[in-house]
Chain A
Amino acid sequence: MFNLLAQETASNVDAGKAIALALGIGLGSLGAGIGIGNIFGSMIQAVARQPELRGELTGIQWLGFALTEAVVFYGLIGGLLAFVLV
């Protein structure tokens, strides 16, 4: 009986870790998705209003894209660290 319980808790901990990792990364990518959508939406609006500025805006757009996208990966690394260390 105790043996069975011990086994179950071990597998429960693993399952909990997996769920926590997936939830963390999923919520993190939710935020980054909104942010990236905002960036590209604003870029489309800006180019539609002033097409001659496209060249200057492209660099800023990709800078913002990469900075926003990186947030997911901080979450991923944090989650992986917690997954491995705990």
Chain B
Amino acid sequence: MKRLSALALTLFLVLPQIALAASPTGAEEEFDPSQEWELHAWIPIHIGPLDLSINKAVAYLLLGMVSTIGLGLFLMRARIGSTNEVGRRQAVGELVYDIAQTQIAEQGLPHKAIGRWFPYVASLFLFIWTVNMLGFVPLPLSDEKFTIFGIELPTLAVFAATSTLSVTIALALLTFVFTHVEGIRHNGPVKYFKSWIPDVPKGLYPLIVPLEILGQFMRLISLSVRLYANMLAGHMLILTFIGLIFLTSPWVFPASVILGTAFYLFEVLIVVSIQAFIFAALSAIYIGSAIEPEH
């Protein structure tokens, strides 16, 4: 089994090399990592003014949705009640649940709101983690094509749906809308909007009130841009280090591969989980602070 998976991994890593060798024009094109973020519509769908075309980011999102559901079922539905021993799957599932419960939901949400909002923050955590993680798996979902044995196939590429701003803004808008709806529902509109303004002398109001209103919208920007920029910078770094080999000379290969792998591991092991955690935790804190304002 180990040998088989090692063979599969080697083939997986070697195949792109064949693709590179098979396309002699590829190396001569001007190298520009930002081409990876050009989204071409694969299946154009236009409903009135709405552009609902399926492009690379949408494909990655759909894939992320399917694999989140699969991961959830795989981890959480592990033989409940059939035996007393805790299987490895169930242990991992309980670890994820425990992080979502104690580190995310209980840190931000007040006690009475955990029952209603735990599913939201936990699925945010799992979904963003899965989409981020898919971004570091080379998948044949690229716009570039190569020909092998007469069949035209897309090349393997790394791309994360969360490294496009529209995806992260949509996720942040969910939190933004839920925050204010919950704040108004629990406190009433007048008391809720009054709770935005801190205790300051009345003379400072013209200065403080616009700042606080702006601050609410800055939350939206900071929440979305944090995730977007992290994933964008990570992918850009990895692509740049790979591209250095073609740009300069083959002698940079060792340094480039070592640095590229180091950044890849840093992204996969730390950044992916931290960003999913931070997005869910901040969503919980924002919703919690709207339900129970401090004053």
Contact = CB atoms under 8 A, between A and B. Distances in A.
B226 A73 contact: yes
A73 B229 contact: yes
A81 B281 CA distance: 28
A63 B229 CA distance: 17
Nearest to A73: B229
Contact of B277 (A62, A70, A76): A62
A34 interface: no
Given A73-B230, A73-B233, A62 B274 contact: yes
Contact of A74 (B229, B275, B277, B281): B229
Given A59-B103, A59-B107, A63-B281, A73 B225 contact: yes
Interface string A56-86: 0011001101110110011011000000000
B278 to A, nearest CB: 4
A47 to B, nearest CB: 17
B274 A65 contact: yes
- Size band of the A side of the interface? 10 to 19
Contacts, number: 35
Contacts of B107: 59
A44 to B, nearest CB: 17
Contacts of A63: 278, 281
Contacts of B228: 77
B222 interface: yes
Interface residues of B, number: 14
Nearest to A58: B103
Interface of A is mostly: helix
A77 B225 contact: yes
Contacts of A69: 230
A9 B281 CA distance: 49
A78 B230 CA distance: 14
A66 B233 contact: no
A16 to B, nearest CB: 20
A67 B274 CA distance: 10
A77 B277 CA distance: 22
B281 A77 contact: no
Contact of A76 (B103, B233, B274, B281): B233
24 contacts: A58-B103, A59-B103, A59-B107, A59-B281, A62-B274, A62-B277, A63-B278, A63-B281, A65-B274, A66-B226, A66-B274, A66-B275, A67-B278, A70-B222, A70-B229, A70-B230, A73-B225, A73-B229, A73-B230, A74-B222, A74-B225, A76-B233, A77-B225, A77-B229
- What 3 A-B pairs have minimum CB-CB distances, sorted nearest first? A73-B229, A66-B278, A70-B226
Given A58-B103, A73-B225, A74-B229, 20 more contacts: A59-B107, A59-B281, A62-B274, A62-B277, A63-B278, A63-B281, A65-B274, A66-B275, A67-B278, A70-B226, A70-B229, A73-B226, A73-B229, A73-B230, A73-B233, A74-B222, A74-B225, A76-B233, A77-B225, A77-B229
